[in-house]
Homo-oligomer: A and B are copies of this chain.
Amino acid sequence: MHKLPESAGQEIGRLDFRTSPDGYRHWSISFAGPVARLVMAVDENSPAGSGYELKLNSYDIGVDIELYDAVQRLRFEHPEVRTVIISSGIQGMFCAGANIRMLGTSSHSHKVNFCKFTNETRNSIEDASHHSGQTYVAALNGTAAGGGYELALATEYLMLIDDGNAAVSLPEVPMLAVLPGTGGLTRVVDKRKVRRDLADVFCTLEEGMKGKRAVDWRLVDEIVPRSNFDERVTEKALGLAALSDRPEGEAGITLDRLERSEDENEIRYPFITVSLDHDGRSATLDIEAPDSDAPADVNEIKKQGVNFWPLAVVRAMDDALLHLRFNEPTLGTLIIKTSGDSSRVAAYDALLDANRDDWFVREILLYMQRAYKRLDVTSRTTFAFVEQGSCFVGMLADLLFAVDRSYMLDGQLDDRPAATIQLGELSFGTLRMSNGLTRLETRFLDDAESLDNVHELVGRDLDALESLEAGLITYAPDDMDWQDEIRLLLEERASFSPDALTGMEANLRFAGPETLETKIFGRLSAWQNWIFQRPNAAGSEGALKLYGTGKRAKFDRGRV
């Protein structure tokens, strides 16, 4: 593996995000009709890194990889599941949050990427509740502290056992001198609409809150006596299940283990090859067009299941992005290319659009949206290169509006026809960014005329100059300039400060309105990054470092 760039802390090894329930160490899933139960019972002796134990249902990236897998499988493999209960298998403790020893000893880079991934998984839980008819409920059969309460906040209904002990809390500020890392502050005031002064009290109270006051302050929705906790949780779950639009009598689609092979310079998935250029500090994702014609109808799509081209592409892209974030931190530029038969991509794209109301196609499109959002918040420069032989059509054309810049070859470097791109309807409503807009709405912010103009281009092959004219690409160098321009572009980008690029890109990518998600990734994450670095938290006498040693942190008392 490539060494993490910062010397502080032990190393989390190379991560593999592929798992499945039979390999879970920390979670179990059970099913009862329309209700699934996801139970967290963390194996304290199976951390992803070394030097810490996962006591009291605390979690690290390994625990969260399993949760992410479970959330994905529940959507695809279990059309019958309409409510998911998250609960704990440990007496009296729902979840103690992110493991503090792990946070105290891991690199700044790992902390930031760990928080980003856990945030994305919490968002995917809300996505299931809001868009997939699979509503999450938190059955807090013990204390939910810090990240544990933040996990509960990602569900739609929080039930807290009323046993005189179990509480909800965000003790990060008073106990650790950092912020809650998974959207807690934002969800408390913006999702649950806890009054800001009460939120201030709650977020500085180490022991948290329980009982009636927790309900009065909107921190949980209901408290339930131990005697009928399980019964009431099941009742609530069944009540929510009755409101779902999940299908009847459909079989699930099994998410077979994602195929991947790799060597030092390349990672190969079905339909995506990732080339790694460690000297030039870039990675290139080449997405291949389908190798066969589009299936005839939705039944054929389901027969293909996980091998259905759009799903296979999205799965590979999702895995590749996570792999690059955690395992290849020095590859600062991500290049997206495509290759293959454009007409086939167009046919698959039309098929998706025509069947968007089918539950499985809906799941594919929502997954595509999540994977594209993951690209949006990945702290790497993203470029798209549109060359001869490429197939930026429909769902793949939408990637042109996700990247920081796009370059399209105007002319021919060989005998193949000049490159074209083609817009599809998915870019005009289905695929949305976390700001709630489509990528084209963000691109042409408050400019209805340009947006209408490009909408009229749907389905047409657009050459480089037409694409440039319509504002769909950044530059269209001709065949004389292409190679030099691309080379200089990559060299220049690699010469800039990675931190400054990260901050710049995060700010330029999300014009327009803000949502819970953009607040979490834009505002909260930035504050966290800042505080994670401050000596008051991460210094040798900082609270995060000294936690559990019995020593008190020494704070610089200056406000900034």
Contact = CB atoms under 8 A, between A and B. Distances in A.
A497 B113 contact: no
Given A189-B511, A508-B200, A558-B4, A536 B405 contact: no
A335 interface: no
Contacts of A403: 197
B496 A174 contact: yes
A185 B530 contact: no
A559 B523 contact: no
Interface stretch (A96-104, A232-240, A254-262, A512-520): A512-520
Interface stretch (A137-145, A417-425, A549-557): A549-557
Contact of A514 (B197, B331, B513, B524): B513
Interface string A85-125: 00000000000000000000000110011000000000000
A76 B518 CA distance: 39
A508 B474 contact: no
Interface string A359-372: 00000000000000
B443 A558 contact: no
A178 interface: yes
A518 B522 CA distance: 11
Interface stretch (A161-169, A289-297, A499-507): A499-507
Given A502-B560, A533-B530, A553 B508 contact: no
B536 A198 contact: no
A177 interface: yes
A108 B559 CA distance: 10
Contacts of A331: 559
A190 B503 CA distance: 16
8 contacts: A196-B404, A200-B404, A200-B405, A379-B560, A496-B555, A499-B537, A502-B559, A519-B522
Contacts of A497: 173, 177, 534, 536-537, 543, 553, 555
Nearest to A116: B560
B185 A504 contact: yes
